[in-house]
Structure 1
Amino acid sequence: MSLAPRAVLVHRTTEYEELVARHGTHGQAAFFLASRGRDIAEVADRHRRTREALTEVAAAVPLTWRQARLERQDLDRFLFGPEDVVVVVGQDGLVANVAKYLTGQPVIGIDTDPGRNPAVLVRHRPRDAAALLASVPARAGRSDDLTMVEAVADDTQRLVALNEIYLGAAGHQTARYRLGLDGDRGAVEPQASSGVLVGTGTGATGWLRSVWQERGAGLPLPGPTEERLLWFVREAWPSPATGTSLVSGTLTDASRLHVTVESDRLIAFGDGMENDALQLTWGQTVRVGVADTRLRLVS
């Protein structure tokens, strides 16, 4: 007997909740903001809209389904099942945060603050939740399979991300490594830089785009479903021992960027989740390229 679908509602702590937790009460938080020329009403209003959206979406889950709520900070401790339908209630970035923990489960993005969010990934309003949830089990709803990026270390550590993977030093120290491309023995270069960024077409609306605008050098941005990535070395430093000739390029599903660590410790993390990073030590090699998994985003 198969399990009934489970709707997993993913959300995050609001700015208002963070303020009250830090200052103790609404009044103290309001005083703190007022003393700096800010009004807590705007933050409280966004909190109210977010909670109302979460309540409306929860009420739209079919009665025969199971239901779970999951806060962003608990993502790395939650076990998703194959029968799950993931409903992200919040911002675009929250969809990216959850993507790395999924293996093909459908994702519905619900925008809690229309007009403030770009709504690239949270494409729907709370009132649409009932119809969207009903369409998923029958596969009647249309979805996009978004390309993801992966980093695989030589000790089998693996990381996937929807927007981008950053590889560099924890903090602001210089990262030292040897960078090369699979299949091209001549293309290996020792480098010292602020790190390496590898991004997808979905990431082309965020951090990757900001680097591309400064350093695009004619490289076309990939589309969200295109099996192509862009990579950039950030602030490569020329010296007698390090070069700057390999600083940007394109990766397809048949190519990989490889980085061999020559620092005491480097990390690789995806989509801003630094608390869930690969830990890499001197001599280790990590390869970065198109992931074999996709994010199934209901459109």
Structure 2
Amino acid sequence: MSLAPRAVLVHRTTEYEELVARHGTHGQAAFFLASRGRDIEEVAERHRRTHRALAQVAAAVPAAWRQARVERADLDRFLFAPEDVVVVVGQDGLVANVAKYLAGQPVVGIDTDPGRNPGVLVRHRPEDTAALLTGRPAAEELTMVEAVADDTQRLVALNEIYLGAAGHQTARYRLDLEDDGGVVEAQASSGVLVGTGTGATGWLRSVWQERGARLPLPAPTEDRLLWFVREAWPSPATGTSLVAGELPASRRLRLTVESERLIVFGDGIEADALELTWGQGVEVGVCGERLRLVG
């Protein structure tokens, strides 16, 4: 006998909850914001909208289904099952946060604050939940990016992967493109950014636009990535000839560390980073897994 589907509602702690936790009471949080020219009611109203949306989504889950909730901070400890349908209730970034923990489960993005969120990944309203869960509309297969170190550490991201030094120090490494005639360049830079078509709506796009790149941005479902070296420094020992390019599914970008510590993190979550040291190598390219985003 097969298990009934489980709806896993993913959410995050609201700004209001964080403020009250930090300052102890609503009144103290209100005083803190007022001293900085802000009104707590704006934050409290967004909190109420989020919890109304969560309640509406939970009520729309079919009665025969099982149901679970997980907060963003607990994602790395939550065990997703093959029969799960993941319902992300919140912002676009929350979809990216959950993507790396999944293995093909469909994801439904519910926007709790239309007009404030871009709605690139949270495309639906709370009132759409029942139809989305029971009707099972087609899902897009969004390309993801992965970094694999030579010690088997692995990191997966939906938007982009950053490789560089922690803080604002200079990253030192050797960069080469797999199957590109053996061209290798020692570099000193602010790091390397490798992004997907989904990431082309965020950080990757800002670098692409600033650089005036002629390479077309990839589509979210396209098996192609773009990469950029940020602020490469020319010197007698370091070059600037390999600073941008694209990676189809058949190619990898390889970095060999030439400093005491480099980090690799995805989707802006530096707390969940790979750490590499002298002589270690890491390859970045299109990930074999996809994020199945409903609608």
Cα deviation, 1:164-202, whole Å, max 9, x if unaligned, reads 000111111111100010012432100011110000000
Give, in whole Å, the separation in 1 of the partners of 2:20 and 2:235: 50
Q: Which amino acid counterpart does residue 31 of structure 2 have in structure 1?
A: F
Q: Which amino acid counterpart does residue 74 of structure 1 have in structure 2?
A: D
User: How far is the alpha carbon of 1:217 from its aligned partner?
Assistant: 2.3
Match of residue 270 from structure 1: 266
Match of residue 138 from structure 2: 142
5+ long unaligned stretches in structure 1: none
Give, in whole Å, the separation in 1 of the partners of 2:77 and 2:134: 28
Match of residue 244 from structure 2: 248
More displaced stretch, 168-177 vs 251-260: 168-177
SS of match in other structure, 1:159: strand
Match of residue 188 from structure 2: 192
Q: Which amino acid counterpart does residue 19 of structure 1 have in structure 2?
A: L
5+ long unaligned stretches in structure 2: none
Q: Which amino acid counterpart does residue 247 of structure 1 have in structure 2?
A: V
Match of residue 296 from structure 1: 292
SS of match in other structure, 2:88: strand
Match of residue 63 from structure 1: 63
SS of match in other structure, 2:55: helix
Match of residue 5 from structure 2: 5
User: How far is the alpha carbon of 1:274 from its aligned partner?
Assistant: 1.6
Match of residue 76 from structure 1: 76
Give, in whole Å, the separation in 1 of the partners of 2:251 and 2:213: 20
SS of match in other structure, 2:271: coil
Cα separation, partners in 2 of 1:172 and 1:60, compared to 1, 3 Å: same
Match of residue 46 from structure 1: 46
User: How far is the alpha carbon of 1:112 from its aligned partner?
Assistant: 0.2
Match of residue 207 from structure 1: 203
- Of 151, 154, 157, 2:150 maps to 154
Would you say 1:183 and 2:179 are equivalent positions? yes
Following superposition, which runs of at least 4 residues in structure 1 exceed 2 angstroms of deviation? none
More displaced stretch, 4-13 vs 177-186: 177-186
Q: Which amino acid counterpart does residue 104 of structure 1 have in structure 2?
A: G
More displaced stretch, 186-195 vs 50-59: 186-195
Give, in whole Å, the separation in 2 of the partners of 1:91 and 1:256: 31
Match of residue 279 from structure 2: 283
Give, in whole Å, the separation in 1 of the partners of 2:76 and 2:162: 18
| TM-score normalised by the chain length of structure 1 | 0.97
User: How far is the alpha carbon of 1:62 from its aligned partner?
Assistant: 1.2
Match of residue 88 from structure 1: 88
Match of residue 258 from structure 1: 254
Q: Which amino acid counterpart does residue 107 of structure 2 have in structure 1?
A: V
SS of match in other structure, 2:237: coil
Q: Which amino acid counterpart does residue 186 of structure 1 have in structure 2?
A: G
Would you say 1:97 and 2:97 are equivalent positions? yes
More displaced stretch, 106-115 vs 63-72: 63-72
How many residues get paired? 295
Give, in whole Å, the separation in 2 of the partners of 1:171 and 1:15: 25
The sequence identity of aligned pairs, in percent, is 82
Give, in whole Å, the separation in 2 of the partners of 1:186 and 1:147: 27
Give, in whole Å, the separation in 1 of the partners of 2:88 and 2:13: 13
Give, in whole Å, the separation in 2 of the partners of 1:275 and 1:35: 31
- Quick check: 1:76–1:276 contact (8 Å CA) kept in 2? no
Give, in whole Å, the separation in 1 of the partners of 2:81 and 2:152: 23
Give, in whole Å, the separation in 1 of the partners of 2:77 and 2:271: 12
Give, in whole Å, the separation in 1 of the partners of 2:212 and 2:221: 20
Q: Which amino acid counterpart does residue 65 of structure 2 have in structure 1?
A: W
Would you say 1:132 and 2:132 are equivalent positions? yes
SS of match in other structure, 1:212: helix
Q: Which amino acid counterpart does residue 95 of structure 1 have in structure 2?
A: V
Q: Which amino acid counterpart does residue 12 of structure 1 have in structure 2?
A: R
Give, in whole Å, the separation in 1 of the partners of 2:207 and 2:79: 34
- Of 163, 166, 169, 1:167 maps to 163
Q: Which amino acid counterpart does residue 182 of structure 1 have in structure 2?
A: E
Q: Which amino acid counterpart does residue 80 of structure 1 have in structure 2?
A: F
